Amino acid sequence: MSVEVERMSFAYRGHPVLREISLSLKPGEFLGFLGPNGSGKSTFLKNILGFLKPSQGRIVFSGTTTPPTQEERSRRISYLPQNPVLHGSLLVKEVIILGRLPRVKDRWAGYGKADWRKAAEVMEILGISGLAERKVTELSGGERQKVIIGRCLVQEGDILLLDEVTAGLDLNHAIEIMEFMRRKAGREGKTIVAVLHDLNLASQYCDRIVLLKEGCLRYQGSPREVITGKVVEEIYGIRAVIQSDGEGRPVVLPKRNSEE
């Protein structure tokens, strides 16, 4: 499923948050969405989801000018929110199966065997099968993040919108999730948009990087094209040395301020 964002703007109570954003989201691509806090990254995702409506411009899905209904979006788009709410009384397996709700054919009949099989498969992939019968309040922060990721994945959307997908994960689990998302894009043709704060993770795993600042799309391109010392200083206000790994992808090394 492709998405074309055409000169989209959005404002909260008259305060501009996004300013004439034009961007293509393509099947099979892992897109990293980066920028300082408050630059409009989460707001962009919520406009794609239909939670918010652009004040200007439009969003075109798969070449049709007729916007999908909210029900259609819930089936086609999987969303991992930045600050998810987890009800403490629920078991891990109960939280994850909630992601199947848009695909339940008969709401009165509830979840079927295929839904539970999919939930079990996702828990196995994420390495949390052993947590299935535990309450979410008993989990660590990293474990809870994996549960939320599982709820997102079990939905099987064509588009995955991930707001800070690696938040709360230690480095090995963050890499594990990024590897998994990379395979989802490459092997299954999913359109994946991930809001990230780690430039090096984005460089290693994303096909294309978009950099926002103050609601404006400042740069977009491959990691090699957009991760430069000049760009990092302009976007984040820090000095950095940019080196290259063995595959030619940039590695960002922030420089300490000189001590006086």
Average pLDDT on 56-76 reads 82
User: What is the distance between the alpha carbons of residues 159 and 1, in angstroms, rounded to a whole number?
Assistant: 7
At 144, is the secondary structure helix, strand, or coil? helix
pLDDT at residue number 43: 96
The enclosing domain of 197 has a CATH number of: 3.40.50.300
pTM of the model: 0.90
Residues of the domain holding 52: 3-254
H/E segment holding residue 92: helix 92-97
> Could you tell me which residues come within 8 angstroms of residue 92 by beta carbon, excluding any fewer than 6 positions away?
123, 128, 131, 132, 133, 134, 135, 136, 139, 147
Q: E strands within 30-118?
A: 30-34, 56-61, 77-80
H/E segment holding residue 163: strand 159-163
Please indicate, yes or no, if residue 102 is contained in any of the structural domains. yes
Please indicate, yes or no, if residue 260 is contained in any of the structural domains. no
Please indicate, yes or no, if residue 259 is contained in any of the structural domains. no
Please indicate, yes or no, if residue 137 is contained in any of the structural domains. yes
Q: Quick count: other Cβ atoms within 10 Å of Cβ 31? A: 20
How many structural domains are present in the chain? Answer: 1
Please indicate, yes or no, if residue 15 is contained in any of the structural domains. yes
H/E segment holding residue 150: helix 141-153
Average pLDDT on 91-98 reads 93
Please indicate, yes or no, if residue 12 is contained in any of the structural domains. yes
pLDDT at residue number 259: 55
Percent of the chain with pLDDT over 70: 98
Average pLDDT on 124-137 reads 92
Q: Where does residue 260 rank: exposed (0-12), middle (13-18), buried (19+ CB within 10 A)?
A: exposed
pLDDT at residue number 32: 96
pLDDT 10s digits, 244-257: 998 889 999 998 87
pLDDT at residue number 142: 83
The closest of 177, 216, 210, 235 to 34, measured between CA atoms, is: 210
